[in-house]
Structure formats: structure tokens, C-alpha cells
Structure 1
Amino acid sequence: MHIIKHMWNVYAGLTILLLILTLLPKIQNSHWIFRVPEFGKIQITFFTLITFGLGFLVSPSPLLWYFQGLLILMFIHHGIILIKYTPLYPVKRSGKGRNSSRDIHFISANVYQFNTEYKRFIQLIEKCKPEIFLTMESNGDWEKALRVLEQDYPFHHKVTLENTYGMHFYSKIRIKDAKTHYFVADDIPTIEAHLETEDGFSFVFFGIHPPPPSPTEEETSKERDGDLLSTAKRVQEIKEPTIVVGDFNNVAWSRSSILFRKTSELIDPRIGRAFVSTFHAKYKLLRFPIDLMFHSEDIFIRKLTTMENFGSDHLPVYCEFFIDHQNTEQEEQIEEATAEEEAEAEEMIEEGKKEDGNRDAVVTED
């Protein structure tokens, strides 16, 4: 009898906790308490199903079917959002046409500044031979280690910082122009690189890594959201094929990610494909899809996946794509921001600029 009562307490406690974690992100407050539960939507959905199953093992109670009904509603709510990021969601895929570019491959990796297994990452690049790759959290030590690749990657744009927001971009493809933006803070860079392939296709690559809302880093998501939406506005000004890649410290279904997608008028390639969860690399069941990418309608993704762990806390992301200016099939996937959403984006940008980030110029590992 005591065990059955204990099981009821566990079941009721889990149901209430899952309800709180479901409702918190609905409150549009930038404090990390409201934003962090968005990251765990996959895990919350999984535990909602387990808790529903547990309900059949506890002793009947007048509240049981109310709780079970609540769990079903929560499961449906999360499922409707998450199914978009699985192959079950129908999205038209396009093959290569006669006017397409050659395939281009890139790797994007948050290397973790304090990870000293440089060789493992270098071996990954040497094995996959992508035309371009981006590193985040790369500091002076990482820059030195990556110099061995510069013979194969003669074009680069480096932003070497010791505050875990350094970024390095390497390319076999000619970089026509590259600049570093500091949209909301003078220690949070965004790379903008204009490239031209040998077969005559131009495209723009953005590398981004805004700070996360968390109890150990930024108290709110204001800088993150302001940085993302500033990038989205910059993308809107560009008329060439564009890719935005990096550790967004955000998930694709959050309000600010959706605003980013609509403001930039880019496409999320995870829709109809997969979650592509990257963090934390060491804990498979607690892994969130926070290393995102978005692309314009004339860029077509052939493959998007994670790669093996090289010692970082993030898995690297591998992507294969081509450019086709003639194919208009992806136009229907673009959503545009309404006037209200544009105003909301402007407000988030201003709040991000006002926020005083709590970061040291040089970060040491705890």
C-alpha cells in the first residue's frame, strides 16, 4: 500500500512539473527561468509519455483521469510543434538541375574553448574535406593549432577572443569580402563573408554565436535575441544566396527563432528532416538542437547531420548544399513577418543593445 501511495506521489509530482515546464515558455519573459524549458521540449514530450504510462500503474483516484487527460493534451501540444522537425512532416525536396552549382560542404563546430584535443578536430576536417568550416569558442590557442590547415584553406576570417565568443572561418572558396559585426555588444561577434565559387556562384555566409540565457551565463535572453534579430535584419538587405550558421543558443521552435526566420525570410532546413541535436555531446538523452542554420530559397540542402564528438561539449554539424537560381520550388516555405512581428523584432534589438552582458574579457575554466 505504501509503495502504491509513493507511486501516486511520483506520478502527480511529475505531471505538475511537466505542466509547469510546458507553461513557462508561453510567458514572454526574457528571464532564463522562462526560456530554458524551451530547450528541453523533446525530453519533456518523452517524459510526458512515460508519466502517462505510469498513470496506469498507480491506484485509482478521483484526480487520475484529470491528470491523464492533462498529459494527453500536453503530449498533443508538444507533438504538433515537434513533428515539423521530423521526416513525418511533408516538405518537397528538389534534385539538382542543369543550372545548379557544384555541391558545397561545410562543417560548423563549437569547439569549446577549453578543449585541447585540437588534433581530433583537425583530423575531422582532413577526413571530410569540407570547402568551408566555422569554429566557435576558438581562442588564440585554437588559432595556433588550426594554422596547419591554412595551406588547404587559404581564405580565412578570424575573430580571436578569449571570452568563449571567438570565431574562425576558413574557406577553400575565394572570400571576396568579409567583415565582423558587433550588433549588440562589443565582445559578441558575427561574421559576414561574401564568397564566389569557381563555377561562378556567389553566396553569403554568416557565422553567429550569441550568449545563452542560463543561471551561469546571461540572466536573460535579451542579448541573444537582439543579436539574432540584428543578423536577420542584415540578411534582409542582402539579395544573394545566404546561409546563417552557428551556435544560436536557441531552439528552432522558440518565439525568437521564429521571429528570426520570418524577419530574415530564410528557410529552416530542419523542418521535414530532423532535430539535429548537438548539445550536450556527452549526454545523448539530454541533447538539445541549439546549433542551427537557416538558408535562402535559392540554396538547397542535400544533407544535414551531426558528426562524431571530437572532445567538445557540442557535436559538429555537417551540411551539403547547392545553389540554383532557376528553381523556385522553395518559395512557398518562406514566411514573412507581419507589421506587429517587425515591431516586436525592433523592440528585441533595442533591448539587446541596452543589456549589459555579464562577461569577462578572458574566461578561465571553473
Structure 2
Amino acid sequence: MWTAYLILIVLLLILTILPKIQNSHWIFRVPEFGKIQITFFILFTFALGFVVAENLENFWYYQAFLAILFVYHGFTLVKYTPLYPVKKYSQSNHSSQKLKFISANVYQFNKEHHHFIKLIEKYQPDFFLTMESNAEWEKALQPLEKEYIYQHKVPLENTYGMHFYSKTEIKKAQTHFFVANDIPTIEVHLETENGYKFVFFGVHPPPPSPTEEETSKERDGDLLSTAKRVTKIEEPVIVVGDFNNVAWSRSSVLFRKTSHLIDPRIGRSFVSTFHAKYRFLRFPIDLMFHSENIFIKELKTLENFGSDHLPVYCELFIDHQNDEQKKRIDKATNEEKTEAEEMIQEGKEENGDRDPVVTED
């Protein structure tokens, strides 16, 4: 057992170091996803040490090292808990009405369409986004079009299709293909009944993994291209989707800084979504960012409807006269802007090997 204790320490050290190496290969990027689980394993190993201690001469050095690792990971993770102080804001008489939306990676091969329809009927969002939605999903969701009369549809069979449905009027909508002609990002301009305009971006870049993309170049390039586009828009902005990324990764931080947007999970919760079936192996990869005049009232996951992702539910309002959130915006340095541009170019140059039609194994 003492040997197992030492092996765990070495493994935890490796998993901590790998993400610090700025290499886009999935071997270096995947450990970022497991920071929450790694932190729990550090605690487990620390407790295990008291049970299996044999070499007392070095025991406290090992335990002190584990404590340092815990503090290192905890310093990042605590920001995504209610322990981190963030002011809560209330609606005023000059803010918009409350808006509700749902974002869901439906899983292209999920045949339980009726469960998702029931979810929408239960929570009655003002608008919702689906990812991995293909022609079959589009057909299945047709009954909702009676109430959600505004739509923007990008049906694809490669697991990167995307659909947007809204009760709120769509003024303009377009589909971007920033780094690859089979990876869409949608941009939808909306206006509420009382005249509040805002822009919604839906994103779903490919993940770095041994079974999909070898590197994170396309993912990072796509996200940072979206960030660059956001800075050219004057209206309030929401960016939502399956980022295939975590909020504390280098590319997510660059996204937040270059887009001048706010991460609403800070001071709230992780809102972990994938994998829906495995609670203790669940990562927060369905993210959201918003501009300073959008205020979040509630952000949480909803019940599983048969997908491998849990849906994300959000309530928000818009207030142009409240500028208190401006101090939450971190802006990129010149060096970070240069790094972002390099990552965008690398993403465009990367040749993702994807089939136009993906079938379930």
C-alpha cells in the first residue's frame, strides 16, 4: 500500500504538470478537464498516507507536497464556488424582463427526442440552442416550432449540427465557419418586445482527444475567432455552447480576456455537464460568457433527457444603466492578443480529419 501511495503522488504530479506545458496535443490538454477530480484524489491520497505510512522519515515531506498540490488546484477551483465573493444584482425598473434559455448538446444518436421536447415544455425558455442536432433532430423538434416561431438551423450529420429556436424575434442570423467548413458557429441578433437588443453566439468546436482531434488547435482557433468577432459588436452579447473546454484552461482565459466577457460561473458553481451518466467523472465543458450589461439570476444544469450531456438552464436580464460589472472584465495584454492571433492562425491551418457523415459505433 505504501508503494501505491507513492505511485499516486507521482501520477498526481504528472497530471498537474502536463496542462502547464503549452502544447496543443491532447495528452497535455485532457488533464485540464479533470482538475476537480484530481483535487479530490489529492485529498484521498493525503488521507491514505496516514493509513499506510511506513517510511516516517520522509512521510511528512510527501504529505506537505500533497498539501501544496491541493492549495495549487484549490486556488483555481474556489473561484467557481459560492465561497468566492461576487456581488449579486437585482432587476430594476429600467432593466429588461427576465429571459430564460436552455443550451443542450442533444447527442446526435439519441433517439429520445420526446424527452427533450418535454424538457422544453416544462421550463418554457424564451429561446434554446441544440448542438449535435441533425436532420432527424430537426424533424423531431418541428412540434415546438408552433411556439418557437423564429429559428436558425444548421443541420449537419457530422455531430456538429446546431439549431436555435426562439420566441424572441430574430432580427438577423448568420453562420460562421471560422476555422473549418464543417464546424459552425451561429450568430443571432435578437430584440425583446420592450426593445432590448442582444446577440447570441452558439459554439461547438471539436475536442482534443484520442478518439477525435489529436490537438486542440481547431478548438482554440474557433473559440478565439468567436472572441474576435464579439469585440466588433456593440450590443450585449452571450456566448454559449459545448466549448469542449474548461473555464480555467489557457485558451478559455484568453477567450474571456480577448472578448471582454464575464464568466458567470465565478462565484456561483462549476455547472458540470459531461458525462451525464457518471456523476463523479463529470466535467464543466458546456460554458457561457456574457457582456457586462447582462446579469445572471440563475445558472444550473437540468435533468438528463438521454444525452451524454446535461442541459444548461439560465435566467438573465439586461440593464444598460448598471455598470457595476465592468470591474469584472479582464482585458488581454498585447502579448496575449498576439498569442490569440497565433492560435487562430494555427486553427485555420490545422486539417481536421472528420467524416461528413458520422454513424454510431
What is the TM-score with the length of structure 1 in the denominator? 0.98
Match of residue 115 from structure 1 = 110
Who is 1:12 aligned against? 6
- 1:252 has 2:244 as partner: no
Cα distance, 1:94 vs structure 2: 1.0
Q: Which amino acid aligns with 1:336?
A: K
Equivalent of residue 227 in structure 2, options 224, 229, 232: 232
Alignment of 1:154 with 2:149, yes or no, is yes
1: distance between equivalents of 2:325 and 2:89? 8
CA distance in 2, matches of 1:362, 1:337: 38
Q: Counterpart of 1:190?
A: 185
CA distance in 2 between counterparts of 1:60 and 1:145 reads: 62
- Which 4+ stretches in 1 moved above 3 angstroms? none
Q: Secondary structure at the match of 1:228?
A: helix
Q: Secondary structure at the match of 2:264?
A: coil
What is the distance in 2 between the residues matched to 1:347 and 1:311? 39
Distance, in Å, in 2 between the alignment partners of 1:107 and 1:64 is 49
Give the match for residue 351 of structure 2.
Answer: 356
1:163-182 to 2 correspondence within 5 Å? 163-182=158-177
Structural mapping, 1:92-131, within 5 Å: 92-131=87-126
Shift of 1:97: 1.2
> Alpha-carbon deviations, 1:217-251, whole Å to 9, x = none?
00000000000000000000001000000000000
Q: Deviations over 1:261-311 (max 9, x none)?
A: 000000000000000000000000000000000000000000000000000
Instruction: Say if 2:205 and 2:218, in contact at 8 Å, map to a contact too.
Output: yes
Query: Of the candidates 18, 27, 40, which is equivalent to residue 46 of structure 1?
Result: 40
Q: Is the 8 A contact 1:32 1:215 kept in 2?
A: yes
Give how far 1:312 is off. Answer: 0.1
Per the alignment, residue 339 of structure 1 pairs with 334
Report the equivalent of 1:4. Answer: none
- Structure 1 residue aligned with 2:212, among 199, 204, 217? 217
Structure 2 stretches lacking a partner, 5+ long: none
Task: Quote how far apart the aligned CAs of 1:99 are.
Answer: 0.6
The 1-side partners of 2:290 and 2:216 are apart by 23
* 1:205 and 2:206 correspond: no
Q: Name the CA distance, whole Å, in 2 between partners of 1:356 and 1:59.
A: 51
- Deviation string, structure 1 residues 95-132 (Cα, Å, up to 9, x no partner): 11111000000000000000000000000001111000
CA distance in 1, matches of 2:146, 2:187: 22
2:54 aligned residue: 60
What amino acid maps onto 2:34 in structure 1? G
d(CA) in 2 for partners of 1:113, 1:59: 49
- 1:123 maps to a residue whose letter is K
Shift, 1:31, TM fit: 0.2
Deviation at 1:32, TM superposition (A): 0.2
Query: Does the 8 A contact of 1:94 with 1:329 survive in 2?
Result: no
CA RMSD of aligned residues (A): 0.5
3-state SS in 2 of match to 1:55: helix
Supply the distance in 2 between the matched residues of 1:200 and 1:214 (Cα, whole angstroms). Answer: 43
> 1:325 is matched with which residue?
320
Give the alignment's TM-score, normalised by structure 2: 0.99
1:211 positional shift: 0.2
Check if 1:21 corresponds to 2:2: no
Aligned-residue offset at 1:65: 2.0
The answer (yes or no) to whether the contact 2:238–2:288 under 8 Å persists in 1 is yes
Aligned equivalents of 1:306 and 1:59: distance in 2? Answer: 41
- Which letter does structure 2 place at the counterpart of 1:195? L
Which deviates more from structure 2 when the two are superposed, residues 8-17 or residues 57-66?
57-66
1:270 aligns with 2:274: no
How far residue 69 of structure 1 moved from its aligned partner, in angstroms, is 1.4
- The amino acid of 2:328's aligned partner reads Q
* Counterparts of 1:80 and 1:47, CA distance in 2: 16
TM-aligned CA deviation for residue 176 of structure 1 = 0.2
The CA deviation at 1:93 is 1.2
- State how far apart, in whole Å, the 1-side matches of 2:220 and 2:58 are: 40
Structure 1 alignment gaps of length 5 or more: 1-6
